Amino acid sequence: MNPSIADNIARVQAQILAACQAAGRAPGSVRLLAVSKTWGPDAVRQAHAAGLTAFGENYIQEAVDKITALRDLPLEWHCIGPIQSNKTRLVAEHFDWVHSVDRLKIAQRLSEQRPAHLPPLQVCIQVNVDGGETKSGVSPQELPALAQAVAALPRLQLRGLMTIPEPAETDAQMRAVHAQAKALFEALRQQGLLLDTLSMGMSADMAAAIAKGSTMVRVGTGIFGARH
C-alpha cells in the first residue's frame, strides 16, 4: 500500500475531527467522500485499505470502467459531475448516489432508468448558491419546486443538497455562502422533505463548510495528491 495515501487520509480525517470539535459537532456527523476522478483502480484500492468506502467521480465513462474493475470491493459510488441526457442510463445503472441533479428532466430519466433490482438512487440537488456564472446548479429561487418534484419520483430518494461555491477571498465570505446553503436546506426540511445530507466543502473550504453544517466533504487532492 502506498503509505502516502493512508497518511493523507489520516491527516484529512484529523482535520475533519478538529473542524467538528471547533463547531461543537459530533465527530461522526461528517462523512469523507474521496474524489477519485483521474485516479486508477489501484489508488482506490489503497484508499479502501486505509478505511474509506465512499468515492466520488466526475467523468461518467471513466467511472464506470473503474466501478467494474472494483466490483470485488464493497464500495459506494457517488456521481458528482455534470450529467448529460445521454449518460443518465450509465449513472442509473452503476452509481449509488448522485450529487449533481439540477434539472427535473435529468432526475426523471434517472428514475426511469434505475434498475428495479437496485435500491433507489440516492440524490442530492446541486444548487448554485452564489450565482457563479460558470457553475452548474439550480437557482435558490427554483430549488423548492425542483426538490418537491424530485422527491416524488419513484426510483430516487432525495437526500439533500450539494454546492460548489466560487472561491472566496476570506474565511468569513466562505462561511457566509455555506450558511446560505444550510438555510436553503433547512427551509426544505421545514416543507416536510426528509433530508439528511448537505454535501459541501472541499479541501480549501472544508473547515468553513463543517462550521456551517456540512454532513459530507469531498476531498480529492488532499487524499490522492495532485491530479495527473
pLDDT value at position 213?
97
CB 58 within 8 A of CB 34: no
pLDDT value at position 15?
97
pLDDT value at position 1?
57
pLDDT value at position 130?
86
- Which pLDDT tens digit goes with each residue over 107-164? 999 999 999 999 999 999 999 998 877 678 999 999 999 999 999 999 999 999 999 9
What is the rounded CA–CA span in Å between residue 137 and residue 103?
8
Q: What is the 3-state secondary structure (H, E, C) of the chain?
A: CCHHHHHHHHHHHHHHHHHHHHCCCCHHHCEEEEECCCCCHHHHHHHHHCCCCEEEECCHHHHHHHHHHCCCCCCEEEECCCCCHHHHHHHHHHCCEEEEECCHHHHHHHHHHCCCCCCCEEEEEEECCCCCCCCCCECCCCHHHHHHHHHCCCCEEEEEEECCCCCCCCHHHHHHHHHHHHHHHHHHHHCCCCCCEEECCCCCCHHHHHHCCCCEEEECHHHHCCCC
pTM for the structure as a whole: 0.95
Regions of the chain short of the pLDDT cut 50 = none
CB 66 within 8 A of CB 90: no
pLDDT value at position 212?
97
Q: For all residues of the chain together, what is the average pLDDT?
A: 95
pLDDT value at position 27?
84
